[in-house]
Structure 1
């Protein structure tokens, strides 16, 4: 394990935007930085989106669609080649850091661009007294890539638009009153199972998003229509919002049974999206891209400003979404092939184009929330035993080792870096599925999915970075994990990336080894003047072939190590109550060392039986 330390002066301040922070691991002490090596030990004016007359020599304008439910559409063609990401890790020197608000409660991004039609569907003034007419335009996925490339050659434009006061002043509760009328959903569930619903602008959502449908290979713009929404008790039904676009969209699919209408995915806020499988409830999020989370200038938050949604064919078990990403220094063309199921999956391809160089690009970023769990004693009253949307980071590194890092709500900001080359996968998982541990009937943390990222192609050298931000409540997402390539992108450069995200319950199908399931920690006070204080760690491992090997537990061994400090009193015993094996050890501080890296895994003779549990520790 290679360790590096860096110091930075980081302060926490609240900003009206999703902003992760980062600089270094700050582990309970002032600003001790610690990196962990994952190798084994040894346009818009806000007007409605409407078609315009085609430019001379340009393609014809797409047909506008209001609220029809016509099914079917040809599937679009793939957009990108195999991923060969390039980017250079920036060694952050400090930045203001804040936790991430859930997009449903998230202030609008400050660095995004106007959502408007592509060059194939340019905006134009419309005579409101005459019906809008146009001719169909054939959709080619290359249009999205060309649009992203062309956009990167233009100056960045702030996307935010002044909403009417009636929308801008909505509280989060009032905004939730605005519901899409399910009977007006796009696509026919009878044909494909999929249906499409839209989100209305308001509250923090002040970036108008262009929505396009692709039916039978032809592009159709979805202009704004207030008639698609039920404004409930928000008191907005009498207002005229004809100049507004949309805030995002939701896809539904019968995940539970053939009669259900479950949420499969949603794209809402900046470049955030959610994915759910059968029996899963809304939980953590994924993002299109993370920029300079640990940079001294603060994070830059990209936004998806336009979408093209391909109407699925009859009987098809996949729906394809194209998205245009934009921010001050990068644009991107994304393709999402979303496949519903017990563990729903999104295959993602992205072409990125850089207006300027970027110190640190975070690829395939995942967002979660961790307030407290079994290893972090609560400092406030709460009826629930645990509150988190994920409880650990799992990494399958390029050497084939499986690492499990329990999450924390630290006293100070923590950034952990796991050095690697060509990673095989990483994810934020929710392993604890016992409702009794949470006792939350509203958020159902026991049903929230974990997300597993599987890279496609060789991602080269870099590191998985884990950011843990202190939070006082569950209203903010404070956990983020992503891949940082070693090479920095430069102005005018391009990058291709391909990966999949799977919404899984606990990831027990990812490998056949025993899992690190629980981490409990206690301080042991000195018993005499000459005896130092100790910290006791209690780890539970379960699953895999442990039941087979525990028949001869005397030959089983716990390999426990610490980068700094002394490990003693290692004990291993069968755990018939929880199943599996329990490992107990004590850690003593040596000299003036401030922190350490801990690792533990199980062996039978020389055969590795379990994941490697790893945790940074501040004495």
Structure 2
């Protein structure tokens, strides 16, 4: 069952990206600092006072431990670091026997339960707003200037002789105004990555002479040779709030996923959680999967996330989230996906643009608990639209980019034809709830105005806990998910009334292709479309082969002969009694 709710109030399009709270936090012991490599990987010693890393631009970071440990969260063990750790002892230099040797605390051994305990304890403590004021030169950076600040690729973390993965960091600035603590897990030990401006090329921003040593990082990205053995392609990035991206072979940067959505498009306003700390497990030689742990925080929810990320033609992230609630939440969004849809082939709104289509995804695909496949084309509506697809134990859902024809976009910069779609596959039984689709009116492609996520029927309460597991796969058009024909195009036009006795109508033209359709297409007398509308009258239903595009084309008119404000439409193809296609569904506002 689909419920559609048109809303007549405009929704603010400003996206507030939150990042993290603490930078370089010492956790549960004296974590060792980790350093980026300069051509050859840096050696991290067991004595923090004995290591330093330099490149041509000067010292990158001092390995000396800080005088004072960063503030501890509830449940953390306090660490005392003595002044003697600041001495710059040269490795191998004899020390007088009567001098007191530096005090070096035992290394912290990483345990995934540590992150879960941190999230649980954090939920028992008052929420602290992670935003802080950046220096003006960083806060006032425009998007283009911020993009000029690039991590020096030759300083990437992980030894290239041991791993095909590499780790790069993001500098704070622009909208990224809170630091993220980033740790490596090497041989089971936690190693903090201290901030170093020497890891960045500031381009033409004029910022290279500034000291940003207290700012912390904004996030990170992982690279992997997706295209060929010599390439270094972006596999994933975690940057801003709880957002992350995932790319597969031949895919360009497009839509985003999130860790969590809280009261999105609700009457009280959206609460935006952030990933405040990460632990990245350094891969061993031959590893095809890299694991990232994240600590999430917001006013009412904390979370411990695990991401097992496997690169490939269809890169995949297996996600496990342990959620803890400081307070009750009216609507929790699980596995949220963010897309952008400005206009498409249906041209329901007019834009003065040289491109034929502008979108990062063109439809929502759902495989519900009854085994039905639903395709919902996206729209840039005049008013906020929210659609709910009621379900129990969903099998999967995702925002996909089906149109892969470059000629339809003509955009050499953003390459919409190469941007990935995301498919979410739940693990275990998710129970009752609904997939919710939010479509926000947008005048510009700079706004991610499409969001889809799962909403459990049971609302979280204060002190409650929730565990969710799922996978996110970056794919192209969703081919291979099922063997039915796909709904590939949605075109429409309004036909004005021709007099007092003639009601207004809308004409729909749908294309279906793939599956077994080509096998049955010759028997057109037994090929028909099942078309239904919750309101209005259907006329002129036709099915005909489409030799130019392949598959078949379905025509029908929806006549406005009722007082209803909208109608829910459904269309699927059959040969006799055999279902040949997924179900196309769409709300229509008269």
In the superposition, the TM-score normalised over structure 2's length comes to 0.89
Report SS of the residue matched to 1:472: coil
**Superposed CA offset, 1:64-85 (max 9, x none):** 1132475999xxxxxxxxxxxx
1:64 to 4, 27, 33: 33
CA deviation digits over 1:42-76, x for unaligned, max 9? x95x7x52648xxxxxx532111132475999xxx
Aligned to 2:316: 345
Q: How large is the Cα RMSD of the aligned pairs?
A: 2.3
Q: How does 1:81-92 map to 2 (within 5 A)?
A: none
Separation (CA, whole Å) in 2 of partners of 1:404 and 1:534:
23
Structure 2 gaps, min length 5:
45-69, 89-101
Q: How many residues align?
A: 546
Distance in 2, Cα, partners of 1:71 & 1:289: 36
Q: Which has the higher contact order (CA 8 A, sep 6+)?
A: 1
Structure 1, gaps ≥5 residues long: 20-42, 53-58, 74-114
Report whether the alignment pairs 1:160 with 2:131: yes
SS at match of 2:585: strand
Q: Does 1:190 align with 2:161?
A: yes
CA contact (8 A) 1:72 1:313 kept: no
User: Highest Rg: 1 or 2?
Assistant: 2
Partner of 1:515: 486
Point out the more displaced range, 63-72 or 263-272: 63-72
2:145 match: secondary structure: helix
Instruction: Determine which of 572, 576, 601 is the counterpart of 2:547.
Output: 576
CA contact (8 A) 2:13 2:447 kept: no
Distance in 2 of aligned mates of 1:395 and 1:72: 49
Q: Distance in 2 between matches of 1:432 and 1:116?
A: 50
1:541-565 superposed Cα distances (whole Å, 9 cap, x missing partner): 0000000000212111100000001
Residues 15 and 275 (structure 1 numbering): CA distance in 2 closer, same or farther, change over 3 Å? closer
In the other structure, the counterpart of 2:291 is: 320
Q: Distance in 1 between matches of 2:436 and 2:26?
A: 43
Determine the structure 1 residue equivalent to 2:11.
12
Q: Which residue pairs with 2:24 in the alignment?
A: 49
- Residue by residue over 1:236-265, the C-alpha shift from the partner in whole angstroms, topping out at 9 and shown as x without a partner, is 111111112100000000000100000000
In terms of mean alpha carbon deviation, does 356-365 or 158-167 score higher?
158-167
SS in 1 for 2:524: helix
Q: 1:318 to 1:458 in 2, by over 3 A?
A: same
User: In 1, are the aligned partners of 2:300 and 2:327 still within 8 Å (CA)?
Assistant: yes
Moved more, 568-577 or 124-133: 124-133
TM-score when scaled to structure 1?
Answer: 0.85
Is residue 520–residue 527 contact of structure 2 (8 Å, CA) maintained in 1?
A: yes
User: Do the aligned residues in 1 keep the contact of 2:7 with 2:384 (CA within 8 Å)?
Assistant: no
CA separation of 1:3 and 1:257: change in aligned 2, threshold 3 A:
closer
Q: Following the alignment from structure 2 to structure 1, what is the Cα–Cα distance between the partners of residues 228 and 43?
A: 22
Residue matched to 2:350: 379
Shift in Å at residue 359 of structure 1?
0.3
Q: Which residue of 2 aligns with 1:231?
A: 202
Q: Secondary structure at the match of 1:49?
A: coil
Cα 1:573–1:195 change in 2 (3 A) is same
Query: In the TM superposition, what is the alpha-carbon distance from 1:135 to its structure 2 partner?
Result: 3.5
1:7-61 Cα shifts (integer Å, max 9, x gaps)? 8663333546269xxxxxxxxxxxxxxxxxxxxxxx95x7x52648xxxxxx532
Q: Which of the numbers 395, 416, 428 marks the counterpart of 1:445?
A: 416
Q: Is the 8 A contact 1:50 1:222 kept in 2?
A: no
Distance of 1:499 and 1:506 partners within structure 2: 20
Q: How has the CA–CA distance of structure 1 residues 407 and 351 changed in structure 2, closer, same or farther, with 3 Å as cutoff?
A: same
CA contact (8 A) 2:167 2:222 kept: yes
Q: Identify the range of structure 1 (604-613 vs 517-526) with the bigger mean alpha-carbon deviation.
A: 517-526
The question of whether the paired residues in 2 share the 8 Å contact of 1:72 and 1:314 is answered with no
Q: Distance in 1 between matches of 2:360 and 2:42?
A: 36
Structure 1 SS opposite 2:521 = helix
Query: Which residues in structure 2 correspond to 1:488-507 (within 5 Å)?
Result: 488-507=459-478
User: Match for residue 532 of structure 1?
Assistant: 503
Alignment counterpart, residue 235 of structure 2, candidates 264, 268, 275: 264
| Deviation, structure 1 residue 529 | 4.1
